[in-house]
């Protein structure tokens, strides 16, 4: 191979993270330590990206309370412990779905937007338990778009808020990143309709691919499904590990995406 044919190495990206650990007193002691999960996730993402993605936790907040929910309520130790034993007692909205967390309130309470604008941090990781109302990922800021959760249009540069569950392990965290990457790369390559096609029930391998990302999806499948396979039959860690290193900058920094 001649010098002219060598590919340039993908530059290392080192996003700064604000971690908010909602961990009330009622959280079972045997559930995972957020500190341990963070360290395992940092290593997993560095490995998956071929040493391209090197996250840094710039600030970690330990919050001994429950996140506020969109209807103005919040669980307490008594109500949340009841819900863990009986799903029927969970707070629900008018449509019967679980009441989600009030992201705008959380961002305000923890003064997140000034940290984003001043580039003290580049994204937010929220940790909590079941029923805390977190999406796996959501995008916030000017021109925010669907990122496996509804966009939140606010006056800031775009950033992603991850929602992690410390009842589960690091594999679930990598799964969440996989869906985030699907959403952002789908936007980058204008391939959301192709993704939608692959996520239909009993989907095949999809129509003819029009770009590199669609070729990847056709050969590798989605985070949930191998090509032509059953839903939830995918090895999501292998899927994330198969992403091209040059795709990680866009999947991490949505401001690169048009």
Rounded Cα distance between 50 and 243, Å, is: 10
Q: What CATH code is carried by the domain that includes residue 118?
A: 3.40.390
Angle subtended at Cα 163 by Cα 162 and Cα 164, rounded to the nearest 5 degrees = 115
Alpha-carbon distance values, 209 to 205, 215, 223, 226 (Å): 10, 5, 17, 16
Predicted confidence band of residue 3 (pLDDT cuts 50, 70, 90) = very low
Kindly state whether residue 126 falls inside one of the protein's structural domains.
Answer: yes
Angle subtended at Cα 124 by Cα 119 and Cα 126, rounded to the nearest 5 degrees = 160
Rounded Cα distance between 127 and 106, Å, is: 13
With a cut of 60, say whether residue 4 has pLDDT above it.
no
Residue with tokens 């991850």: 162
Kindly state whether residue 80 falls inside one of the protein's structural domains.
Answer: yes
pLDDT of residue 207: 84
With a cut of 80, say whether residue 58 has pLDDT above it.
yes
Kindly state whether residue 143 falls inside one of the protein's structural domains.
Answer: yes
Kindly state whether residue 66 falls inside one of the protein's structural domains.
Answer: yes
Is residue 172 packed enough to be buried (19+ CB in 10 Å), middle (13-18) or exposed (0-12)? middle
With a cut of 80, say whether residue 65 has pLDDT above it.
yes
pLDDT of residue 1: 38
Range of the domain at 246: 9-256
| Mean pLDDT score across all residues of the chain | 94
240, containing H or E segment: helix 236-242
User: How many Cβ atoms from other residues are within 10 Å of residue 229's Cβ?
Assistant: 15
Rounded Cα distance between 203 and 15, Å, is: 35
Question: What pairing do the DSSP bridges indicate for beta strands 137-140 and 159-165?
Answer: antiparallel
Kindly state whether residue 1 falls inside one of the protein's structural domains.
Answer: no
Question: What number is the average pLDDT over the span 198-227?
Answer: 90
125, containing H or E segment: strand 123-128
Question: What number is the average pLDDT over the span 157-180?
Answer: 98
Q: What percent of the chain has pLDDT over 70?
A: 96
115, containing H or E segment: helix 112-117
Kindly state whether residue 2 falls inside one of the protein's structural domains.
Answer: no
Q: Give the global pTM.
A: 0.94
With a cut of 50, say whether residue 241 has pLDDT above it.
yes
User: How many Cβ atoms from other residues are within 10 Å of residue 4's Cβ?
Assistant: 5
Q: What is the pLDDT of residues 113-159, one digit of tens each?
A: 999 999 999 999 999 999 999 999 999 999 999 999 999 999 999 99
pLDDT of residue 202: 76
With a cut of 70, say whether residue 247 has pLDDT above it.
yes
Taking the alpha carbons at both ends of the chain, their separation in whole angstroms is 34
For the chain, give me the number of helices (H) and strands (E)? 9, 5
Among positive and negative, which fits the CA dihedral 138, 163, 38, 110? Answer: positive
Question: What pairing do the DSSP bridges indicate for beta strands 56-63 and 16-22?
Answer: parallel
With a cut of 90, say whether residue 11 has pLDDT above it.
no
Question: What number is the average pLDDT over the span 34-55?
Answer: 96
With a cut of 90, say whether residue 204 has pLDDT above it.
no
Q: Which residues contact 98 (CB under 8 A, 6 or more apart)?
A: 90, 91, 92, 131, 133
pLDDT of residue 9: 62
> What domain count does the chain have?
1
Kindly state whether residue 3 falls inside one of the protein's structural domains.
Answer: no
Q: What is the pLDDT of residues 128-137, one digit of tens each?
A: 999 999 999 9
pLDDT of residue 5: 44
């Amino acid at each position: 191979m001649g010098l002219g044919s060598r590919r340039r190495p993908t530059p290392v990206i080192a996003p700064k993270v604000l971690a908010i650990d909602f961990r009330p007193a009622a959280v079972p002691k045997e559930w995972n330590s957020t500190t341990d999960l963070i360290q395992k996730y940092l290593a997993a993402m560095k490995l998956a990206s071929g040493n391209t993605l090197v996250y840094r936790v710039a600030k970690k907040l330990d919050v001994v309370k429950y996140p506020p929910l969109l209807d103005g309520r919040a669980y307490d130790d008594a109500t949340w412990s009841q819900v863990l034993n009986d799903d029927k007692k969970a707070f629900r909205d008018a449509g019967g779905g679980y009441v989600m967390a009030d992201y705008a309130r959380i961002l305000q309470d923890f003064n997140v937007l000034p940290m984003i604008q001043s580039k003290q941090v580049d994204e937010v990781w929220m940790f909590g338990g079941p029923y805390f109302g977190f999406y796996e990922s959501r995008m916030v800021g000017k021109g925010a778009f669907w990122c496996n959760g509804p966009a939140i249009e606010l006056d800031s540069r775009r950033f992603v808020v991850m929602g992690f569950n410390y009842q589960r392990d690091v594999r679930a965290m990598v799964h969440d990143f996989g869906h985030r990457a699907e959403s952002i790369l789908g936007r980058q390559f204008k391939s959301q309709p192709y993704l939608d096609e692959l996520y239909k029930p009993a989907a095949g391998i999809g129509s003819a691919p029009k770009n590199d990302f669609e070729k990847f999806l056709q050969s590798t499948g989605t985070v949930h499904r191998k090509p032509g396979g059953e839903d939830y039959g995918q090895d999501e860690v292998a899927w994330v590990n198969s992403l091209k290193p040059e795709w990680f900058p866009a999947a991490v920094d949505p401001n690169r995406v048009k």
